[in-house]
A and B are shown apart, each in its own frame.
Chain A
């Protein structure tokens, strides 16, 4: 089913996608002329596949549950923010706060993201084939952030129990983030994530892992300068 945002209102298109007749066989949708509009495909909750042909604005695929959303273009701030499950695949670049506060699901970005990728992530898996900007994985609580390129300043600042896997250079680490030794279990996690994004498994050896040094969990006067 084709949905044309030049002909139909954004509200109507989102309503159509949010109220799927589960008995029907209509599972594949296409959206044309997104023209940078905000909140396209926000709040989908069924197992459907939606392809967006073009660039989108803020909060694309926000709060997604179950749906598989593909964007043939760039996305604005907060793509897949607060996603619960499902998959979002961006073929271009993403702006700030990609996958912010998301609880689950998989976000794949073929290009780069700007700052704060995975900010406060709570269980999502994010795979970025390019580089990420500053303050990525800020206060990340759970889940995995895989970066095939480089990371900007203050990676993993105030991180909790999320894992960061990175192949390129880290400009600087944020407070309480440190390099970790990758064990078998971590390698298996990374392997499955690379597979999801169709990246060659043999790349695993080129990745480093970062996580929390767990020094800032409880207040300690010796660490006061770190807060």
Chain B
């Protein structure tokens, strides 16, 4: 089943409430995916700084900061539940290599404005653990997982991020992910888990690195990704949704002058301001919808 949600704020006055909105959306989608949950928050870009979202299986934050600062100058570490947000000017290629020497840390995502958190457990507990309500930002994407084809682990949880400031959540399953994983890995895209969605995320990263737009990449995906899916994909600039041609995985969009919200079911949006006067529609099969700067 799985629940997917996304919200893009057109009006900055709501930025401080982004986390609150997403909390309500994820809580009401908990019944669609009680196994694990995760979310990506996009906030304002920090010039020449990168944020690395890292899942750590140790609670010794101070020691980790000390260890890392031996290799990296001007490092700032923020700890939230079992995640660390590491802020530094060091470029991804170099920093990711350093992270690989720390087995107790696994990279969840990185970029100049994205922060990603994911955890096993009921979504209602997960959003509490990460204090999602307190987050602010311009847009956010979330997922509640009912595991089908790979184990219930943090690695198997969404959102997946395989490129700078990118993320993907998925409701459905893909049938040709093994072949596709091999061909993407040959092209140098790093895919860590056996999960089908991570392959789709890698496919999008590959398209974007070929200088294609997100919309073009998702349209190409309709030919190359076999299976059933509703995807919500996020980038620094905004978000997009696409459903496969059969469209058996649900999605509803509510758009007002202040925001665009997407969810698997309308009930996830019922708490949003003025939703009853929003333009509400279901994305058509095989069509890409995107919103952003």
Contacts and interface: CB of A to CB of B under 8 A. Distances in A.
Contacts of B280: 55, 74, 92-93
A36 B250 contact: no
A36 B285 contact: no
Interface residues of B, number: 17
A73 B278 CA distance: 11
Nearest to B28: A36
A130 to B, nearest CB: 12
A39 B184 CA distance: 44
B250 A57 contact: no
A96 B267 contact: no
B266 interface: yes
A37 B267 contact: yes
Interface string A133-150: 110000000000000000
B250 A74 contact: no
A54 B267 CA distance: 11
A74 B247 contact: no
Contact of A57 (B247, B248, B266): B266
A54 B285 contact: no
Contacts of A96: 248, 250
Interface residues of A, number: 20
A48 B265 CA distance: 28
Nearest to B263: A36
A35 interface: yes
Given A76-B265, A93-B281, A35 B250 contact: no
B276 interface: yes
Nearest to B283: A114
B22 interface: no
B276 A54 contact: yes
A73 B275 CA distance: 12
A73 B269 CA distance: 14
Interface string A59-96: 00000000000000110110000000000000011011
Nearest to A53: B276
B282 interface: yes
A93 B266 CA distance: 12
A57 B267 contact: yes
A95 B280 CA distance: 11
B250 A115 contact: no
Nearest to B285: A134
A39 B76 CA distance: 50
B270 A35 contact: yes
Contacts of A73: 276
Nearest to A58: B265
B128 to A, nearest CB: 22
Contacts of A36: 265-270
Interface in B155-212: none
Given A93-B280, A95-B250, A96-B250, A115 B269 contact: no
Interface string B229-270: 000000000000000000110101000000000000111111
A57 B282 contact: no
Contacts of A35: 267, 270-271
A73 B280 CA distance: 10
A115 B247 contact: yes
20 contacts: A35-B270, A36-B266, A36-B268, A36-B270, A38-B267, A54-B276, A55-B270, A55-B276, A73-B276, A76-B265, A92-B280, A93-B280, A93-B281, A93-B282, A95-B252, A95-B282, A96-B250, A114-B247, A133-B247, A133-B284
Smallest CB-CB A-B distances: 9 pairs: A36-B267, A36-B266, A35-B270, A114-B282, A36-B270, A55-B266, A57-B267, A74-B280, A57-B265
Given A36-B268, A57-B265, A133-B284, 9 more contacts: A35-B270, A36-B265, A55-B276, A74-B266, A93-B282, A95-B282, A96-B248, A114-B247, A114-B282
Interface of A: 35-38, 54-55, 57-58, 73-74, 76-77, 92-93, 95-96, 114-115, 133-134
